[in-house]
Amino acid sequence: MRLSPLSPDSMSAEQKDLYDSIDHTVATSLAGFIAKREDGALLGPFNPMLHSPRLGAAAWALTTALSQKSVLPKACKEIAILVTGMRYQAAYEIYAHVAVGRLVGLSELKITALCCGMLPPHMSEQETVAYQVARALASSGPLPRPIFDASIRVFGKEGTAELVFLIGNYSLVSVLLNAYDIPVPDGTAGG
C-alpha cells in the first residue's frame, strides 16, 4: 500500500468533510465488507480520495450520484462492477463487490463465473445485457451497436447512461486501487 490510511483526527477540514460523507454513505448503504479500520481510517478507494480531497470529492460526487435514484437493478449494477473490477484485477474492488453482490442476491455460481471472466449461467435478460455492456467497454474500442441497442431496449436511455457512467466510475475506482496498490483488508479472503 502506497498511502498510509488517514485517521480522522489527523485530517484537514476539507478531508474531514469528505470523510464524513463517505463514512455515512458506506455505513448506511454498503455492507458486507471491511471499509474502515478500528481507528476510523477508511480503506479501499476512499483513502486515496481523502489524500487528494479536491479530486476525491469530485470522484465521490459521481459515486453518490450513481447510487441516488438509480434506475438499474442492483444485481445488474454489481455484475457490471465485478466485470470492470476483473478487467483491472483490482483486488479490493473485487473483494468488496463480491460481498455486495451476495447481499443483493447474486448466486455463488454467478459470482464465481464473473470472477473467472465468464458469462454466468441462468442470467436474466437485464443481467445479460449489463454483463455484455460492461464486458465490451472493459475491452477496448467502441461499444458495439447491437449491444448498445439491446441496452437501450432493456434499460432505456437513462438506464443505459447510468450503466455507462457506472462502468466508467468503477474503472476510475479500479485505477485508484491499482495505482496505490491497495490490498484487501488483513484477515479477509480475496472474495
CA–CA dist 120, 68 (Å, integer): 28
What three-state secondary structure class fits 54?
helix
C-beta neighbour count of 142 within 10 angstroms = 8
Nearby residues of 89 by Cβ (< 8 Å), 6 or more positions away = 178
Taking the C-alpha atoms of residue 119 and residue 135, their distance in angstroms, rounded to an integer, is: 9
Range 74-179 classified under CATH 1.20.1290.10: yes
Residue among 153, 179, 150, 155 nearest 165 (CA): 155
Measured CA to CA, the distance from residue 66 to residue 70 in angstroms comes to: 6
Chain-centre distance of CA 117, in angstroms? 16
Cβ atoms of 19 and 8 closer than 8 Å? yes
pLDDT at site 187: 65
Q: How many CB atoms lie within 10 A of CB 17?
A: 13
pLDDT score at 1 = 82
| Residue 36 β-bridge partners | 42
Tell me, what's the pLDDT at 104?
Answer: 95
Residues of the chain with CATH 1.20.1290.10: 74-179
pLDDT along the chain (191 residues), means of 10: 93 97 90 92 97 98 93 97 97 96 96 96 97 94 96 98 98 98 80 50
Chain centre to alpha carbon of residue 59: 12
pTM of the model: 0.94
Q: What angle do CA 35, 79, 145 make, to 5 degrees?
A: 135
**pLDDT for position 68:** 87
Question: What residues pair up with 42 in beta bridges, in sequence order?
Answer: 36
Distance CA 7, CA 11 (A): 7
Return the pLDDT at 43.
96
